[in-house]
Amino acid sequence: MLNRIRRIGAVLAVLGLASFGGTAGAQDFSTTAEFAALMDFESGTMLYQKNADERLEPASMAKLMTIAVVFDEIRRGRLTMDDEFFISEHAWRTGGAASGGSTMFAELNSRVRVEDLLRSVIIQSGNDASIALAEGIAGTEETFALVMNQTAQRIGLENSHFTNAAGLPDPDMYSTARDLADLGRYLIREYPEHYHMFSEQEFTWNNIRQQNRNSLVEMGIGVDGLKTGHTNAAGYGIVASTTAGGRRLIAVVHGLDSMRERAEEGRKLITWGTRGFELLPIYPEGAVVGHADVYGGAEPSVPLVGNGKIDLFIPRGAQNCPQASIVYRGPLRPPVAEGTQVAELHVMCNGVLVQQTPLFAGRDVGEGDLMRKATDALKHLAIGWL
């Protein structure tokens, strides 16, 4: 299978966008973070990335998957906010005050409401609360990790694996900046009724007042979530989201040397994302962006559409911009199910990739008949796939 590229510059030219002018270079942004990603919430468009698909140790940002599982259990009616979970010796010893990590300070053998456990995980990053939730839902952390990975697969996280509920160091636990951004996007989109917890500034338990570890929440830059993380090996990281600038963005930075640097690099990426782009609408919801070849299908190709409308985010002052291509691994093999992501729209400015927008099959394409398969096979043998 080869990377198939279809240029759509002509389409952009018709829309009057092929010569968007200016004087500065494209994507004029840098960060000291080892890993970084900036995603448009509505479309899933990647506006900036640095080692976004390289594996990283997620640390406490893995708790976002723990939260996703808990929210799903509540939605399915298998759990309520008023249910109470037991604080086992494992939760108390591994995640409590004696462990030296972030903790809720829950008492051994006590019972704590799910809502309080959730607030601890979200606001204070309580390891004991995370473990208590895992054990309360699945019996053991090991079994809960299986549920975490099943949920990750359902969400579409392609390069993540979870082994515990708290994000404690484990060589088999990994994720990527892209997957963490996708996970944050999933939580915001699917559970708006609970999202307010992420912006709450403090949580008090056992007479101990605990501040939200996400310092960006109180900076006045529109940040209302999501989660920080830190281990000695991984460094400091954060998954943050903002609605400043009229649209929601999700930012990830990780691999930094201090809490101060984490806050500064997160702030820089968020601020640049909200101020550094011109937004240009190009395709309304449902519009066909292009087509992808289908080898041996009932139809020779499948139309490609966005997840809703597609906007271009052009760096302010960029020259020779945009130049756009549809990229996919193909030809595709049938059956192709409507709604499956099969391609990406890549936008370049001055030779720099400044945007990746997922594209989806606009309709089902089933298996072709013998004649179609034979014709496609002859094309492939004679001249390669066009």
Residues annotated as catalytic (active site), given as ranges: 60, 63, 125
**Of the candidates 158, 169, 170, which has an alpha carbon nearest to the alpha carbon of residue 53?**
158
Question: Residue 128 has which token pair?
Answer: 């004991």
Alpha carbon distance 221, 242 (integer Å): 7
Contact in structure between 106 and 92 (CB atoms under 8 Å): yes
Contact in structure between 304 and 360 (CB atoms under 8 Å): yes
The 8-class DSSP code of residue 226 comes to E
Q: Residues 6 or more apart from 65 whose CB is under 8 A from it?
A: 148, 151, 152, 160, 162, 183
Q: Residues 6 or more apart from 385 whose CB is under 8 A from it?
A: 2, 293, 295, 330, 331, 379
Contact in structure between 270 and 221 (CB atoms under 8 Å): yes
Which three-class secondary structure state does DSSP give residue 314?
strand
Alpha carbon distance 180, 226 (integer Å): 10
Question: Residue 279 has which token pair?
Answer: 């937004």
Is 227 annotated as contributing to ligand binding?
yes
Alpha carbon distance 335, 364 (integer Å): 7
Which three-class secondary structure state does DSSP give residue 318?
strand
The 8-class DSSP code of residue 369 comes to -
Contact in structure between 253 and 273 (CB atoms under 8 Å): no
Alpha carbon distance 120, 87 (integer Å): 14
Contact in structure between 178 and 52 (CB atoms under 8 Å): yes
Which three-class secondary structure state does DSSP give residue 87?
coil
**Of the candidates 167, 158, 161, 160, which has an alpha carbon nearest to the alpha carbon of residue 121?**
167
Binding site for substrate, by residue number, is: 227
Binding site, by residue number, is: 227
